[in-house]
Structure formats: structure tokens, C-alpha cells
Amino acid sequence: MEEIEAQIERFIKEVDEHALKLYTKASKGKRLRAKLIIKIAGESESAYKLAAIVELIHAASLLHDDVIDDALTRRGSDSINALYGDKTAIMLGDILYSKGFMELVSYDREIAEAISAAVTNLSVGEMMDVNLSKSINLNQELYFEMIYKKTAVLIEATARSAAHLSGKDSEAFALYGKNLGLAFQIIDDVLDITMSDEQLGKPSLADFKEGKTTLPYIYLFESLNQQDTSTLNSLYKKELTLDEGQWIRAKMQESGAVLKSIELAQKLGYEALEAIEFDKNSDLERVMRDMIEREF
């Protein structure tokens, strides 16, 4: 990973020293996409560079997301918009996006197309997320389209590109990446409900307050009687009291909405593992199992 971190910094430095200084203040994240590339394509100059490109693009999308969502922290640290204002975050995001694209041009058409199409979807996914957060959304199809575009699509394109780079079955790895992204997002949405503030390292039950009707909420609305439905409606986009939070958590468990969400994430995960079973890749298996077979 050190190779990749160094490559990311070289890329940014080639563009602008000032941008590099700003970038060093941004949260580095888990580098899930970079790891995926190395675990699929193996170690090579070309894999390191592709990993750095994808992480540049991912970082750019987070910079803009944090402005759009008014998020003042990112993984427990101050976000760039909190530190230096929205404008700096927008400009730095534009620099990282465009440098990522610029470097992408040197790869095969298949890879450049997959990644660049994913970025277009990423932007559309963010817009869908904002629009779906304006009122309660009970449409599962829209929820799945949104999390596919916002979260899964770049992981899918990353896995597809890494497989292409190393001459492996790109459809199989694309499915793995897509389902990893979908399962990750569903579980993230579950943890917002089942975890405490301390366990999350940020306020829990934040999604519903921010207007997001995530999958567990969609399932919950489907199972509630009229009175409970109107109670849940009345809590939408509200700062919750402790009792109201407890009520939502209890209903989520009673109704099976949380369990049903976890089971769907697990189903997607096992489907992905089956698709790449031929590769006997214990690293990729562990990434998925660690995510779907954890404590909820």
C-alpha cells in the first residue's frame, strides 16, 4: 500500500504543490478500492497506478459529497470543507477528478470506459440520494438504483478493471465488486440503526433524521400497522429523543426489518463468493466474510 500512497502523492504533486498540501489534510480512508485491485490483479506498476487513479477519483467524490451533505467530519476527523471551506473542497475535488481521468487515458479502452462510466453514475447517484432524501421513499427499486450508483458502481468498475488488467474473467469480478458495494451499503444502513454512538464513532440513527429512508426503514414501513406508521412518519427528519430512538430500534427488531436487510446483504455476498469461487482467492473471500458475518 505504501507504493500506492506514494503514487497518489506523486500524481497530485505533478498537478499542483498547493493541492498536495491540502490533500494531506484529508482523511485517507480504508483504501478498499486500491486493495481490491492488488488482490485481483496482483502487484505491478500498472496495478499500483490504476489503484492510485481510482483512489483519486474516490477521494474527489467524497470531497464533493461532504460539501453537498454539509458533513463536517469524515472518519472522525474534520472534513476539508470544515477545515478550509466549501470552495476549497470543490476545487480540490475537481483537481483530483481531472488528474484521475487524465491518467486513465493511458489504460486500455475497456478500463478507461468502465471507470469513467462509473464516475458519471457516481454523480447521478449522489444527486438521486439528495433527491430521495427530500421526502419518505418507499420505493425499493429507487433505493437499490441509488446505492448501486452511489456506492457499488465504482467498486464494480474497479474489480472489472483489475480483472481485465490481469487477464482474468472480468464479468465474474465485476459481479463480486458490485455485490460487495451493495452489501457494504446495506450493512452501513443497518449499523446506523443497531449500533450505539460510541460503537459507530458518530451519531447513530442519523439517516432517518437526514431524510434517508434506507432499506431497513422501507421494510419497516411495509410491516407496520396504521398507528405505528403514523408514529414513524412523525419522527421523519426530526431530532429524536432517547425514547423515540429506542422505539425505532425496538420496532426494527420486532418487525424483522433489520434481519431481512442483513439477510439480503448476506445473500448478495454469498452470490459474489460463488461467482469468483474458481479463483480460490482467500483474501477476497475474507473481505466479504468479514463484512457480512460480523456482529450486528
Residues in contact with a copy of itself by the rule CB under 8 A: 15-16, 18-19, 61, 64, 67-68, 86-87, 90-92, 94-95, 97-99, 101-102, 104-106, 109, 112-113, 116-117, 119-120, 122-124, 126-127, 130-131
What CA–CA distance (Å, rounded) separates 178 from 176? 6
Nearer to a copy of itself, 30 or 109 (CB): 109
Nearer to a copy of itself, 116 or 166 (CB): 116
Q: Under a CB-based contact definition with an 8 Å cutoff, are residues 33 and 55 in contact?
A: yes
* Minimum distance, C-beta of residue 18 to a copy of itself, in the bound complex (Å): 7
What CA–CA distance (Å, rounded) separates 89 from 66? 8
Nearer to a copy of itself, 104 or 248 (CB): 104
Nearest alpha-carbon partner for 55 in 190, 203, 162, 154: 154
* Minimum distance, C-beta of residue 72 to a copy of itself, in the bound complex (Å): 15
Nearer to a copy of itself, 148 or 217 (CB): 148
What CA–CA distance (Å, rounded) separates 207 from 143? 13
**Dihedral, 249, 255, 258, 262 alpha carbons, nearest 10:** 160
Nearer to a copy of itself, 18 or 286 (CB): 18
Strands (E), the chain: 73-74, 77-78
What CA–CA distance (Å, rounded) separates 46 from 40? 13
* Minimum distance, C-beta of residue 93 to a copy of itself, in the bound complex (Å): 8
* Minimum distance, C-beta of residue 211 to a copy of itself, in the bound complex (Å): 14
Nearer to a copy of itself, 120 or 199 (CB): 120
What CA–CA distance (Å, rounded) separates 275 from 173? 8
Helices (H) then strands (E): counts for the chain: 17, 2
The grid cell for 173 is 469480478
* Minimum distance, C-beta of residue 126 to a copy of itself, in the bound complex (Å): 6
Residues ≥6 apart with Cβ < 8 Å to 123 = 61
- For residue 147, CA distances in Å to 12, 81, 153, 261 come to 29, 24, 9, 14
Nearer to a copy of itself, 127 or 240 (CB): 127
* Minimum distance, C-beta of residue 123 to a copy of itself, in the bound complex (Å): 4
Q: Under DSSP, is residue 190 helix (H, G, I), strand (E, B) or coil?
A: helix
* Minimum distance, C-beta of residue 248 to a copy of itself, in the bound complex (Å): 28
Nearer to a copy of itself, 20 or 273 (CB): 20
* Minimum distance, C-beta of residue 108 to a copy of itself, in the bound complex (Å): 10
